[in-house]
Amino acid sequence: MTDSSISPTTAPAIFDAHAGGYDDDLRRRLIPSFDDFYGAGVAALACRVHPRDRVLDLGAGTGLLSGFVAQAFPAAELVLLDGAPAMLERARGRLAGASAPVTLVVGDMADPLPEGRFDAIVSSLAIHHLDDEGKRDLFRRAYEALNPGGVFVNAEQVRAPSERLEGRYLRWHRDASLARGATEAEWEAAVERMRVDRCATVEDQLAWLSEAGFPDPDAPYRLYRLAVLVGRRPD
């Protein structure tokens, strides 16, 4: 179980305050296997997203994942939701040249999702800010908000299956980040931000996706603390 004593508004407030320093180069240093991780998230949309489809990005931040989605599916309409307005302002700049409509929504993932149905709902490194009941509830709401044939992709930081492995996974993350050029100060700042994380295991999240209605949810990508969880709504 994760700590549910932290206010759900804490994470967006932290990211809002540090939006200026949330740059892509730093993310590359702090996310081992950055290209494989985001690439697996976008690959999971293949055959599911078509021109003019609607894609919702939950906890979109500066639009890192949305940017990759826009590159792969330039005609797809994007709706970005985040609780930190300053993060979304940076997403506005990233997606300024997008050829399809882009809508920015300041909001909480715990509240009702933006109006209408979506063909894909994606998220990266954001849903772990909700407590476990919040994640389960969001998975249910995501299922309901998808059109038949739609896909839910959660590229996520996950909890290890045991406390002992959690320590090993954390050491792996630190060592891999420093090997990718992160400084000790950058790692320490990341650890400070991660204090509000409430990560869940891959196994628990697959069970919650199943419970939400997704048949055969899977994790096509997994490397220590990083995993891509996918649920497909039947046609």
Ligand X SMILES: C[S@@+](CC[C@H](N)C(=O)[O-])C[C@H]1O[C@@H](n2cnc3c(N)ncnc32)[C@H](O)[C@@H]1O
Task: Note the residues at the interface with ligand X (CB under 6 A).
Answer: 8, 11-12, 15, 27, 59-61, 64-65, 82-84, 87, 108-110, 124-126, 129-130
Give the nearer residue to ligand X in terms of CB position, either 37 or 214.
37
Q: Which residue is nearest to ligand X (CB)?
A: 61
First to last CA, the chain: 34
- Residue 116, number of CB atoms within 10 A of its CB: 10
* Shortest distance in whole angstroms from residue 108 CB to ligand X: 4
How long a stretch of residues is the chain? 235
- CA 53 and chain centroid, separation: 20
Query: Which CB, 7 or 148, lies closer to ligand X?
Result: 7
Q: What residues are paired with 153 via a beta bridge?
A: 122, 230
Helix (H) or strand (E) segment spanning residue 106: strand 102-106
Q: What is the closest distance, in whole angstroms, from the C-beta atom of residue 142 to ligand X in the complex?
A: 13
Question: Of 77 and 131, which CB lies nearer to ligand X in the complex structure?
Answer: 131
Among 114, 118, 123, 110, which residue's Cα sits nearest to residue 52?
118
Nearer to ligand X, 65 or 209 (CB): 65
For residue 215, the minimal CB distance to ligand X (Å) is 26
Min. distance of Cβ 120 from ligand X in angstroms? 14
Beta-bridge partner residues of 105: 81
